[in-house]
């Protein structure tokens, strides 16, 4: 019998994902599992891969529990932009959007405009490759697919609703699903839960819009569901002990009460695990943070099981011209984004009545909003007129003696998408972020990896969080022990979602990261352009050389000495579909 290890990681400071104190250990890996954790050196005879982790941290692979890799994993399954940062498990099917039950064109149209991945790229991928229409068939596809990281999934409510009702009926406010259609939706969800899905994702935010010709600019199908429909589906989630992921309607803050009521358990029903998007310290709406914290406290105090998703870094968004999603939250921005061609948009943007309307909305600082509506807080990054680069819109408007809205619209008419700018809409105060990440009713999540490919990049979210905690440890106000920070990215989320991941104990999956904490001394918020594999596009990504040195997935080396291995995404044996495991500890 061959007792040699497949991989040895020696001399590292092990944080096992439980929050226990870090210890110096030698890790022996065999057949994709942790075989030995030893204080003494291991026998290296016959071991083909020995990694010396002296002076390094050894942690479980990180979980990214809010991504939109649904289309990308079909044709570029390495998902290397996440794996290179130590992510070994990704969650898809968020925000009511999965690509499972609905036909190819429907799945594409509910996804591409919302997540700003071009329709002319996504639709052909689905038309060529999608041969599944049930959760079981999709899982079967993944089981044969050369996945990079492990995959866990929600079933998207918009996907499910469209597959049963059709795109037109599912986006018609006057249409309520028939009894037969409701039963079909319940059967579809139950089949997903039996196949090991985490639960159901829904969407209430009205500014997420449909692409294509048939229902252009209508809100996502999930937003048209009455709460009675959602409660029927929630009953199944309770029965199976699964999760409801949702996003409240930002224009109706009181809608959160419906989610809170549903999560609370009583003597007649079990609590419903619920996670909502998102706890953010918004510049433009200072009531969101305290209300969100109060809501989570009340829900959990009264027997609920509720978690906010929390981005542990400044929420910075990049825009091209008028193309940025938060403009959908007010009428004038929505009117422009509903127009498809630059000619149509320019005609609208030049119209004085439209400009008066835009200025009116811009001046309304008290209405519910995500964007702070301050062009003085928006910096121009790129522009054919180089004299504008590095300046904010308000300064330029002042120099020209015009209203800042007129200046912005003039520049969009002149330069279109060639004028690129950015703003930070929230999590802008480091001391507040350090406080928020200590909130126990949160999940460190919401990277949106795979989406908004020209608008944002949080692929390295776990590293940003670890850097925040690591740097604070050397101040008078530490955030938490680094072992607890690792747990928040690994074991905590794996246990809450009920999957086998996130820990490094004997017998556990060998999903492992070796990282160098000395390399945190770099800008983790910087963005770079990189090719999006098999899409013929470039997207914003993060590049942080020297931090993550090695990544193992299922005991196989996915990243070595900071380089993504060529086999990743081409050979099987790395990531797997991870089903929910009942009674997991």
Burial 523-556 (b: 16+ CB within 10 A, else e): ebeebeebebbebeeebbbbbbeebbbbbbbbbb
The contacts of residue 39 (CB under 8 Å, 6+ apart) are 23, 24, 25, 26
Percent of the chain with pLDDT over 90: 91
Element holding 63 (H helix, E strand): strand 62-64
Residue 1: per-residue pLDDT: 52
Tokens of 344: 């149509």
* 370: pLDDT strictly greater than 90: no
CA 399 to chain centre: 40
Residue 153: per-residue pLDDT: 98
Which of 462, 445, 443, 278 has the alpha carbon at shortest distance from 370?
278
* 23: pLDDT strictly greater than 90: yes
CA distances from 115 to 126, 213, 359, 402 (A): 16, 17, 27, 34
pLDDT digits (tens, 9 = 90+) for 91-136: 999 999 999 999 999 999 999 999 999 999 999 999 999 999 999 9
Which of 218, 222, 285 has the alpha carbon at shortest distance from 251?
285
Residue 249: per-residue pLDDT: 81
* 2: pLDDT strictly greater than 70: no
Helix (H, G, I), strand (E, B) or coil at 214: coil
- Kindly state the average pLDDT of the residues 383-409: 98
pLDDT band at 474 (very low <50, low <70, confident <90, very high): confident
pLDDT digits (tens, 9 = 90+) for 519-572: 999 999 999 999 999 999 999 999 999 999 999 999 999 999 999 999 999 999
CA gap 42, 290 in Å, rounded? 51
pLDDT digits (tens, 9 = 90+) for 61-89: 999 999 999 999 999 999 999 999 999 99
* 355: pLDDT strictly greater than 60: yes
pLDDT band at 251 (very low <50, low <70, confident <90, very high): low
The 3-state secondary structure of 28-60 reads EEECCEEEEEECCCCCCCCCCEEEECCCCEEEE
CA 168 to chain centre: 28
User: Facing residues of 551 across strands?
Assistant: 513, 559
Percent of the chain with pLDDT over 70: 99
Residue 286: per-residue pLDDT: 84
pLDDT digits (tens, 9 = 90+) for 155-193: 999 999 999 999 999 999 999 999 999 999 999 999 999
Helix (H, G, I), strand (E, B) or coil at 536: coil
- Kindly state the average pLDDT of the residues 507-518: 98
Of the chain, the end-to-end C-alpha distance in Å amounts to 31
What is the sign, positive or negative, of the torsion defined by CA atoms of 529, 531, 535, 541?
A: negative
Mean pLDDT computed over every residue of the chain: 96
* 366: pLDDT strictly greater than 90: no
The CA angle 534-152-545, to the nearest 5 degrees, is 55
* 25: pLDDT strictly greater than 90: yes
Tokens of 585: 């500890």
Q: Which residue stretches of 453-528 are H helix?
A: 461-472, 482-489, 491-497
Residue 60: per-residue pLDDT: 99
Residue 583: per-residue pLDDT: 59
Q: Is 95 left (phi over 0), alpha (psi -120 to 50) or beta?
A: left
Residue 477: per-residue pLDDT: 95
Residue 254: per-residue pLDDT: 77
Residue 584: per-residue pLDDT: 58
């Amino acid at each position: 019998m061959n007792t040699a290890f497949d991989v040895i990681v020696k001399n590292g400071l092990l944080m096992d994902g439980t929050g226990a104190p870090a210890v110096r250990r030698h890790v022996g890996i065999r057949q994709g599992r942790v075989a030995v954790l030893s204080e003494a050196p291991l026998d290296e005879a016959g071991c083909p891969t020995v990694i010396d982790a002296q002076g390094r941290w050894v942690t479980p692979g990180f979980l990214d529990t809010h991504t939109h890799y649904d289309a990308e994993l079909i044709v570029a399954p390495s998902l290397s932009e996440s794996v290179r940062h130590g992510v070994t498990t990704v969650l898809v099917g968020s925000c009511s959007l999965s690509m499972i039950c609905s036909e190819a064109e429907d799945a594409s149209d509910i996804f591409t405009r919302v997540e700003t991945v071009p329709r002319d790229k996504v639709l052909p991928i689905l038309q060529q490759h999608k041969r599944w229409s049930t959760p079981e068939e999709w899982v079967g596809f993944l089981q044969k697919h050369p996945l990079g990281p492990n995959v866990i999934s929600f079933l998207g409510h918009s996907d499910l609703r469209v597959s049963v009702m059709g795109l037109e009926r599912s986006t018609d406010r006057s249409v309520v699903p028939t009894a037969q259609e409701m039963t079909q939706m319940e059967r579809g969800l139950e089949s997903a839960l039996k196949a090991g899905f985490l639960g159901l994702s829904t969407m209430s935010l009205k500014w997420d819009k449909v692409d294509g010709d048939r229902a252009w600019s209508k809100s996502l199908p999930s937003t048209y569901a009455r709460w009675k429909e959602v409660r029927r589906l929630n009953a199944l989630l309770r029965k199976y002990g699964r999760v409801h992921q949702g996003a409240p309607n930002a224009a109706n803050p009181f809608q959160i009460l419906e989610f809170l009521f549903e999560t609370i358990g009583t003597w007649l029903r079990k609590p419903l695990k619920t996670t909502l998007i998102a706890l953010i310290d918004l510049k433009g709406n200072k009531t969101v943070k305290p209300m969100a914290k109060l809501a989570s406290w009340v829900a959990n105090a009264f027997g609920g099981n509720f978690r906010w998703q929390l981005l542990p870094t400044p929420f910075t968004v990049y825009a091209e011209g008028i193309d940025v999603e938060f403009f959908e939250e007010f009428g004038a921005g929505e009117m422009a984004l509903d127009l498809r061609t630059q000619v149509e948009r320019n005609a609208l943007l030049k119209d004085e009545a439209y400009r008066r309307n835009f200025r009116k909305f811009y001046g309304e600082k008290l209405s519910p909003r995500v964007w702070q509506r301050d062009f003085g807080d928006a910096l121009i990054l790129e522009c054919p007129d180089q004299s504008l680069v590095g300046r904010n819109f308000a300064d330029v408007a002042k120099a020209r003696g015009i209203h800042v809205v007129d200046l912005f619209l003039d520049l969009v008419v002149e330069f279109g998408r060639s004028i690129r700018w950015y703003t930070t809409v929230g999590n802008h105060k480091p001391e507040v972020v350090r406080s928020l990440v200590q909130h126990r009713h949160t999940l460190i999540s919401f990277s949106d990896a795979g989406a908004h490919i020209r608008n944002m990049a949080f692929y390295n979210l776990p590293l940003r969080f670890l850097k925040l905690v690591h740097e604070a440890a050397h101040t008078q106000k530490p955030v938490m022990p680094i072992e607890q920070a690792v747990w928040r990215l690994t074991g905590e989320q794996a246990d809450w979602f009920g999957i086998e991941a996130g820990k490094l104990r004997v017998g556990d999956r060998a999903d492992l990261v070796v990282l160098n904490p000395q390399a945190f001394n770099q800008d983790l918020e910087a963005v770079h352009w990189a090719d999006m594999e098999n899409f013929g596009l470039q997207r914003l990504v993060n590049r942080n050389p020297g931090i993550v040195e090695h990544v193992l997935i299922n005991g196989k080396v996915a990243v070595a000495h900071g380089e993504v291995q060529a086999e990743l995404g081409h050979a099987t044996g790395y990531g797997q579909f991870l089903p929910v495991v009942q009674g997991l500890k």
